[in-house]
Structure 1
Amino acid sequence: MNRGREVIVIGGGLGGLWATLTIAEAGHRVRLFSLFEVMRSHSVCAQGGINAVFDAKGEHDSVRQHIVDTIKGGSYLANQPPIQSMCEDAPGLIRTFERMGVTFSRTPEGQLDQRLFGGVKHRRTCFAGASTGQQLLHGVDQQVRRLEADDRVHKHEWWEFLSLVKDADGVCRGIVAMDLRSLEVRAFRADAVVLATGGLGQIYAPKTTCSTNSTGAAASRVYQQGARFANAEFFQFHPTAMLGEDKTRLMSEAARGEGGRIWVPRDPADRREPARIPEAERFYFLEDWYPAYGNTVPRDIASRAIWKVTRELGQGVGGSDRVYLDLTHLDRGFVASRLGAILSIYRKFAGSDPLQAPMEIFPAAHYAMGGLWVDYEKDTSTGGMRPGSPRNHATSIPGLYACGECDYAYHGANRLGANSLLSASYSGRVAGEAVVSYLNGLATGAEAMPAEYFDAEIRYQAQINQHFMHARGDQNPYHLHQALGALMTAKVGVVRNNAELDAAIAELAELEQRFARLDLAEANAWANQSLAHARQVFDMVKLAQVMAASARARDECRGAHYKPEFALEMPPDKYAGDPEFEAYRARWKANNAEWLKTTVAEYSTDSPRISFEPVDLSLLQPEQPRDYR
């Protein structure tokens, strides 16, 4: 058995740290690359909680129900063996976090507290106030720091991944990265590489809850080198984001789970302060339209409902794109203890106290269900993933693995709230175990690869830098980023149609061409932030093309992808046996037969090549769609 091999992990969030921890504890050396200090990774921004079944509230919850909710919440579009394994392992993962010192919120009796989240009817979300991601990240980071002190992990903070280095057979043998302080471009050999670089919300900037680091550039770069990208059209818009000039900021789904109510004045001309509007003159539209779930409907449904109220019915607050998220009816001490972090954010950036007046919110780009295509091996005895298989979380490039938000594995067409921290942590651990197995079967390591492969890739990346820095045209990279965000928000957003998607594809091609006229206005050979940003924006455009092409290819409504002209509306107050309902169900089954498939994009110099592959439905066959009314 080969021990002590060299592995590179790119990304210091929960996925990357769990992969690092798992690989290093197996005896291998890990280089951990991050765009910034690891503790600034975007996982720290997750607020509401992490799902695991403990049935702490005595609601007869079960792991089976967690699996079913995740499958149905994703509109059956995720392969089911990985979902089964993730949900089964969730309670043990929480206990591991506890042993790492994570301070989860607890009941007066000292038991783990759990809260309600969207799309489910059971309280299964463990949380640490409203800063859960921060607490989880601290816990795993401390364990990685222990290994760093033992010289088993070496961190490269403030380094940016530029490209893979592959051998003549297409096997990943290392990377080329750039020191963001000096702009030095270097190659690093590795026997395996794990990509854990998070989401791509900056494609929609500034209308996104994601940090400025969530560009998707790293995933785009490996896609352009041959890695397949799956389900790119499915992008979640969080319904409750506070408004802002610079960006939108997340107001956690926990606010709805703890009793927050969404409403608008029944009279769109009503300009009174919200506290002066009587209950009878308020429109609690989620409660009216979806009484079975009320304010805890899934995010895609809530976002489209808000879109309908504001854009179609013209009933937004003050006639604008905003609705109220109201906590003022709840006990002040209860809200302060459970949601303190988001209260502080809103007070700081909106200048208003959510305990005194409702928050003003609107949907914003939040989370990518799609990502790099990754494999898995099914365990025929359990129905889940086979533990430790080298196929688990392997991309289509041998030796390259992906985990966290940059893979597509667990959420299908839509992600349930609080499954993100779970999937990031779980997938990081699984990817780490898979890498260890891959290394054990590796005959020849990266040390045998000729230096000329690495030298050639260094020269190529350095040439790109020189071209960007010395080009003199009329295009500013920051203006190009603004144009990209405006285009994607307008035409590949909450509601889509084919005419606008066709226009988006054409405009994205034109946007890519504008990079030929780039002007950074500086050619410093050190700490050149414009260079790094320009390269990221270019790769965001390439990934946006994948998203638009994938959305254009899917002529249906599923999860977060919504084209009204292809909507199959369930007949109101109709049930099994009713002819109208049975006709609807027949149409739904026919639609599934055609579209219940994973969208797969492969890189081409002209435009993405889009194909479809079947989904593993071995655990739960599609029935009729869930009726949240």
Structure 2
Amino acid sequence: MSEPRVLVIGGGLAGLAATMRLAELGIGVDLVSLVPVKRSHSVCAQGGINSVNAMTRQQGDSEWKHFDDTVYGGDFLQHQPPVKEMTEWAPKIVDLLDRLGVPFNRTPEGHRDQRRFGGTLYKRTAFAGATTGQQLLYALDEQVRRWEVEGKVKKWEFWDFLEPVLDSSGRCRGAVCQDMVTMAFRTFAADATIIATGGCGLVYGRSTMSMVCTGSAASRAYQAGARYGNGEFIQVHPTAIPGADKLRLMSESARGEGGRVWVPRTPHDARDPRDIAEVDRYYFLEDRYPKYGNLVPRDIATREIFDICTTDGLSVEKDRLCVYLDLTHIPRETLDRKLGGILEIYEKFQGVDPRAVPMKIFPAVHYSMGGLWVDYQKNAAGGLEEGSPRNQQTNIPGLYAIGECDYQYHGANRLGANSLLSCIFSGLFCASGVVASAHGSRKLAAEESTNLFAAAMRRQESRHESLLARRLGTENPYQLHLELGNLMTRVATVVRRNEQLTAAYAEVCTLEDRWKRCALSDSGNWTNQNVVFTKALGDMFPIAKLILKGALERDECRGAHYKPALAMPGIAATDLAGQYREAQEWCDRFEQNTKRWLKSTIASHGADGDPQIVFEDVDTSLLPPRPRLYGLIGGELIEEVWKERQKKAALNGSGSAAGTAQTAAVAGPSA
């Protein structure tokens, strides 16, 4: 008799965590990965993984404060029950990883060492040098390989996901995939399918992401009917090494260990940075954000670095935008023990020892807060109902999304070291619900008519053959990708302007039309990377369009989405009465903006290929929205005025508009 089987697409941390847990629950798993599992992009994560721990508890920390920091840092755009559940699981997850053999750094007393990351005042981040992602990935892969030996898991490395297979009721019954070596096609019957394929960095051309992070799997699910949430929220990391081929991450852990960001007060000062006196250096993050210093949230640090180079004209170099990230005041032994991995990267690609000479860095596209829309089931305590088939399920029954390719946990801005946590948490937590879903379908996928799978495979074979036949086309897919990346980087990263977004959308549509005339230089049927890339490029355009349209329609500033014309500046008045009046006006505008824009952007793929945008209320039932005031001029007074309003609203029993207008139903969003 057939048994339920689950298909996991993606072999990074989220996919491995889900596979491990599903196997523990007795379910057979097919694990499909575009690359060998140990080469998944999770291996590039550097800084660490967040959780409350014994040391921070002694300082007054708690799971609730981790939850508060995450929601506040994300500008309140997350549904709160999933975030609450994640932060409550965090200490257990880090303890589990410790027991699985992850070589976390230790203190002289033998305790796990911790570092501080942006957007928090506590040292919550456990780390394994500066190669934490690699160590976590290897530990989970080791567990999955145990289940391979037991016969519960079968890996399919170098396979590409092409489309979900949907039955007549719209339920996902598996997928069509392609062998990247032999170019053969295969269908996988699955009683539940989990997409765990990471972000879409290559839509921007150069980024800190690996070359396999095209977003094509999420795009293919989106084109098949899955909804996509908050696509316009793209994280630009403050510190990366500029490069002609790609941009290489310099982890936030460098600042967490005491690294300082600065520029010379004299524009384009040609002196060796070691010869520039302290009085001639401008530590602008420390000056503007004394509470958080160099560890303000990433969206703020990125805008400040961008602004200091462009608006203030204080870039270190005249012909290339960059600032200094300085570690030279930290002992070499400490740097090698805690940051050796990233320092070797800088030394290799720049030819300079960052232990002795300040690094030159600039922001780079790094992460997608948006992703496939997923559901959840809220419990009575305000967290999630474990075992519910709704948790992490897209609007397509039987199709799940976890990790960076879902939109659930980070809102408008992700805090550093929360990404590894959300990947592993979503993989572990969703497994019991996936099992319930797999057992709950009317019949097993393996018992479905073979015609269903044969028709889906024929569609993909036909698409493949038509691409191979384009030998006389007039367009070069690699040139089109270069143009797409340059366009998206120019108009949809740190600063967004409506007129540019409108023009860019039309230009992306033109690029998409040109893609239909691409010529392939390789028409072979063995490891044909040309056709694989051309397919992925075609699937980047739907993602690019929903990013641009979401950014265009969201007329506000929130987290990583910044429109200068709509920014809410600090207090300018110098007299007390004027300051109080401006603070009141600021709070009025904040309440109006919250009522209008504290909503998720949900895109559906239209019949004409254009995204259809609707807005969904955000569940703020646990933590009422409040002004996000990191370092804002007059922020203390604004906070005081806001608290007065909240107190009066509570006494009147009415609640503020910001606190009540966006509360979703107790059961969570409906599909």
* Alignment TM-score, normalising by the size of structure 2: 0.92
Unaligned runs of 5+ in 1: none
Contact in 2 for aligned 1:55/1:124 (Cα 8 Å) = no
**Counterpart of 2:240?**
241
Q: CA RMSD in A?
A: 1.4
The aligned residue for residue 126 of structure 2 is: 126
CA contact (8 A) 1:55 1:62 kept: no
Match of 1:602 in 2: 604
Q: Contact 2:374/2:394 (CA < 8 Å) preserved in 1?
A: yes
5 Å-filtered alignment, 1:299-310, equals 299-310=298-309
Alignment match, 1:76 = 76
Secondary structure, in 3 states, of the residue corresponding to 1:429?
A: helix
Q: Partners in 2 of 1:486 and 1:29 — Cα distance?
A: 43
2 CA distance for matches of 1:200 and 1:146?
31
Letter in 2 for 1:193: T
SS across alignment from 1:119: coil
Distance 2:487 2:433 in 1: 39
Per the alignment, residue 163 of structure 1 pairs with 163
Give, in whole Å, the separation in 2 of the partners of 1:275 and 1:571: 37
Displacement of 1:122 after TM fit?
Answer: 0.6
User: Where does residue 503 of structure 2 map in the other structure?
Assistant: 503
Task: Supply the AA of the counterpart residue of 1:617.
Answer: T
SS in 2 for 1:238: strand
Give runs of aligned pairs for residues 428-443 of structure 1, distance below 5 A: 428-443=427-442
The secondary structure found in structure 2 opposite 1:162 is strand
After TM superposition, give the deviation of residue 572 of structure 1 in Å.
5.8
List per-residue Cα deviations over 1:289-331 (Å, max 9, x = no partner).
Answer: 1111110001100100011011111110122310000001112
Give yes or no for contact 1:3–1:28 (8 Å, CA) kept in 2. Answer: no
Partner of 1:628: 631
Q: Select which of 584, 587, 596 maps to 1:585.
A: 587
| Corresponding residue for residue 220 of structure 2 | 221
Quote the residue 1:8 is aligned against: 7
Contact kept, 8 Å, 1:324 with 1:360, in 2: the verdict is yes
8 Å CA contact 1:321–1:362 kept in 2: the answer is: yes
Secondary structure of the 2:317 match is: helix
Kept in 1, the 8 Å contact 2:296–2:630? The answer is: no
Instruction: Return the alpha-carbon distance in structure 2 between the equivalents of residues 351 and 59 of structure 1.
Output: 41
* Aligned partner letter, 1:283: Y
Superposition deviation, residue 59 in structure 1 = 2.4
- Please give the alpha-carbon distance, in whole angstroms, between the structure 2 residues aligned to 1:456 and 1:64: 50
Would the aligned equivalents of 1:475 and 1:519 in 2 still touch at CA under 8 Å? yes
Post-superposition offset of 1:443: 2.4
How big is the shift at 1:425? 0.3
| Stretch deviating more after TM superposition (520-529 or 618-627) | 618-627
Residues of 2 paired with 1:4 and 1:239: CA distance?
48
Instruction: Specify the code of the residue in structure 2 equivalent to 1:463.
Output: S
By how many angstroms is 1:55 displaced? 4.0
| Residue 484 of structure 1: aligned partner | 484
Q: How far apart, in 1, do the equivalents of 2:41 and 2:431 lie? A: 20
- The equivalent residue for 2:33 is 34
CA distance in 1, matches of 2:420, 2:105: 16
- In structure 2, C-alpha distance between the alignment counterparts of 1:14 and 1:126, rounded to whole Å: 16
CA deviations over 1:457-491 (Å, ceiling 9, x no partner): 11111111111111121111111111111010001
Q: Within 1, Cα distance between the matches of 2:163 and 2:268?
A: 54
Task: Look up the match of 1:291.
Answer: 290
Task: Give the Cα separation in 2 of the matches to 1:474 and 1:59.
Answer: 64
What is the CA–CA distance in structure 2 between the aligned matches of 1:99 and 1:333, rounded to whole Å?
Answer: 27
Compute the displacement of 1:530 (Å).
Answer: 0.4
What is aligned with 1:338?
A: 338
Secondary structure at 1:318 match in 2? coil
**SS at 1:56's partner residue?**
helix
| Partner SS for 2:489 | helix
**Aligned position for 1:475:** 475
Q: Look up the match of 2:616.
A: 613
Residue in structure 2 matched with residue 102 of structure 1 by the alignment: 102
For 1:400-411, list aligned pairs within 5 A.
400-411=399-410
Aligned counterparts, 1:272-283, within 5 A: 272-283=271-282
Question: Distance between the aligned counterparts of 1:148 and 1:619, measured in 2?
Answer: 41
Shift of 1:168: 0.5
Measure how far apart 1:448 and its partner are. Answer: 2.6
Is contact 1:204–1:486 with CA below 8 Å preserved after alignment?
A: yes
Could you tell me how far apart the structure 2 residues matched to 1:101 and 1:329 are? Answer: 33
Q: Deviations over 1:31-56 (max 9, x none)?
A: 00001110000111000000000142
In structure 2, the partner of 1:154 is 154
| 1:571 matched residue in structure 2 | 571
Contact 1:55 1:123 in 2 (8 A): no
Shift of 1:3: 8.6
The residue number in structure 2 matching 1:424 is 423
Q: How does 1:253-272 map to 2 (within 5 A)?
A: 253-272=252-271
Distance 2:407 2:61 in 1: 27
* 2:6–2:27 CA contact under 8 A, matched in 1: yes
**Rounded Cα–Cα distance in structure 2 between residues aligned with 1:485 and 1:222:** 22
Deviations 1:538-591, CA, capped at 9 Å, x for gaps? 101111111001101100000000001111113269999811111101101110
CA distance in 2, matches of 1:627, 1:221: 38
For residues 628 and 46 of structure 1, the distance between their equivalents in structure 2, rounded to whole angstroms, comes to 28
Tell me the distance in 1 between the aligned counterparts of 2:598 and 2:549.
Answer: 18
2:364 alignment counterpart: 364
Query: What is the CA distance between 1:99 and its match in structure 2?
Result: 1.3
Gaps of 5+ in 2: 633-671
Q: Secondary structure at the match of 1:461?
A: helix
* 1:60 and 2:63 correspond: no
Amino acid at match of 2:200: L
Structure 1 residue 424, shift from structure 2 partner: 0.3
Give 1:440 shift: 2.8
Report Cα offsets for 1:112-170 as digits up to 9, x if no partner: 11101011111100101111011111111111000000111000000000001111011
1:547 corresponding residue in structure 2 = 547
Secondary structure at 2:53 match in 1: coil
Alpha-carbon offset, residue 513 of structure 1: 0.2
CA contact (8 A) 1:119 1:296 kept: yes
Q: Which residue of 1 aligns with 2:141?
A: 141
Find the counterpart in structure 2 of residue 445 from structure 1: 444
Is the partner of 1:599 in helix, strand or coil?
A: strand
Q: Which amino acid aligns with 1:339?
A: L
Read off the aligned partner of 1:452 and give its amino acid letter.
N
Query: What amino acid maps onto 1:597 in structure 2?
Result: K
Match in the other structure for 1:186: 186
Partner of 2:639: none
Match of 2:641 in 1: none
> Which residue identity lines up with residue 463 of structure 2 in the other structure?
I
Which amino acid is the alignment partner of residue 48 of structure 2? G
Distance 1:179 1:269, change over 3 A: closer
495-504 vs 446-455, which moves further: 446-455
Aligned structure 1 segments of 4 or more residues deviating by more than 3 angstroms: 572-577
Report deviation, 1:626. 2.8
Query: 2:613 corresponds to which letter in structure 1?
Result: I
Conserved 8 A contact 1:266-1:315: yes
| Residue identity matched to 1:585 | C
Instruction: Specify the alignment match of 1:20 in structure 2.
Output: 19
Matched-pair contact (CA < 8 Å) for 1:402–1:431: no
TM-score after normalising by structure 1 = 0.98
Q: What letter corresponds to residue 230 of structure 1 in structure 2?
A: G
Structure 2 Cα separation of the partners of residues 115 and 573 of structure 1 = 39
Distance in 2 (CA, whole Å) between partners of 1:423 and 1:572 is 39
- The residue type paired with residue 186 of structure 2 is R
Alpha-carbon separation, structure 2, partners of 1:184 and 1:216: 22
Q: 1:515: Cα distance to partner?
A: 1.4
Q: Is the 8 A contact 2:2 2:446 kept in 1?
A: no
Q: CA deviation at 1:272?
A: 0.5
The 2-side partners of 1:494 and 1:504 are apart by 15
The corresponding residue for 1:392 is 391
Matched residues in 2 for 1:515 and 1:448: separation?
Answer: 39
Distance 1:189 1:118 in 2: 43
**Whole-Å Cα distance in 1 between the matches of residues 460 and 438 of structure 2?**
28
Give me the identity figure in percent: 50
Q: After the TM superposition, which of the residue ranges 564-573 and 40-49 deviates more from structure 2?
A: 564-573
